Amino acid sequence: MAENSDVWVVVPAFNESTAIGAVISDLRHFASNIVVVDDGSIDETAAAAETAGARVLRHVVNRGQGAALQTGIEYSLSHGARIIVTFDSDGQHSPADLPILVAPLLEGKADIVLGSRFLGSADRMPALRRVLLRIAVFFTRLMSGLKITDAHNGLRAFSRRAASMIHIQLDRMAHASELMDQIRRSGLPYTEVPVHVRYTQYSREKGQRTVHALRIAFDYFIGKWVR
């Protein structure tokens, strides 16, 4: 699938100049269309991504990961993407998981494929993070009714049909739960595949702090009210 021009990879990035170059270079072995959405970075993220061979869209001000994903998805759709993969910019995900992720879409078995670190593997996941993610999964199952094992994994794949139906409105991190609601409401078939997540020193420093979980839950509930 190296030259598969139907597959578009959307990479939201905020101040990731140190990691993004390597992430894009690795991704290019598996996909030709890579869209980096630079979410108002103040470092050289955009330049690093462009040098590595990605198309770069720039948010003039930081709007959050949910907003960046939606921008990348809309752009990819308007350029004829048949399959859209979302991929984190901090090097947590493994580009080698891409073929596994898009396989159910190509085989017509699902419209949405979610990567799960709990079905797959996660290197050096901090114990507290493991507990928190389990709680988040419980919360998501409760709210959306989706039977999934990992709600907050940025590695996902959507068919064109699914991507067109999804409108991420929650700009910041609560979009993950919002997305699950929309998947359920769309009624489209979804599946989970095992993926590998790597917790590096860098990703831990850059990633979500544990205390932000409450804020995310709050945003999610407020989001249910504001339409």
Partner 1 sequence: MTTFQSIGLPLLALLALITVVAMVRHSINARAGFGWLAVWIAAATAIARPSITITVAHALGIGRGADLVLYCAILGMLIGFFFIYIRFKRLDREITKVVRHIAIHQSERGD
Nearer to partner 1, 42 or 61 (CB): 61
**What are the φ/ψ torsions at residue 61 (nearest 5 degrees)?**
-130, 155
Interaction between residue 32 and partner 1 (CB under 8 A): no
Interaction between residue 226 and partner 1 (CB under 8 A): yes
Nearer to partner 1, 76 or 159 (CB): 76
161-180: contacts with partner 1 (CB under 8 A): 169, 171
46-85: contacts with partner 1 (CB under 8 A): 55-61, 63, 67, 70-71, 74-75, 78
Least distance CB 146 / partner 1 (angstroms): 24
Interaction between residue 36 and partner 1 (CB under 8 A): no
Interaction between residue 86 and partner 1 (CB under 8 A): no
N residues, the chain: 227
Interaction between residue 201 and partner 1 (CB under 8 A): no
Nearer to partner 1, 128 or 214 (CB): 214
| One of 13, 37, 136, 143 touching partner 1 (CB under 8 A) | 37
Of the candidates 95, 102, 84, the one whose C-alpha atom is nearest the C-alpha of residue 9 is 84
Name the one range near partner 1 by CB under 8 A: 91-99, 114-122, 145-153, 219-227. Answer: 219-227
Contact 119, 192 (CB under 8 A): yes
Nearer to partner 1, 44 or 74 (CB): 74
Nearer to partner 1, 39 or 97 (CB): 39
Of the candidates 57, 52, 56, 45, the one whose C-alpha atom is nearest the C-alpha of residue 28 is 52
Residues contributing to the site for partner 1 (CB under 8 A): 37, 55-61, 63, 67, 70-71, 74-75, 78, 169, 171, 222-223, 225-226
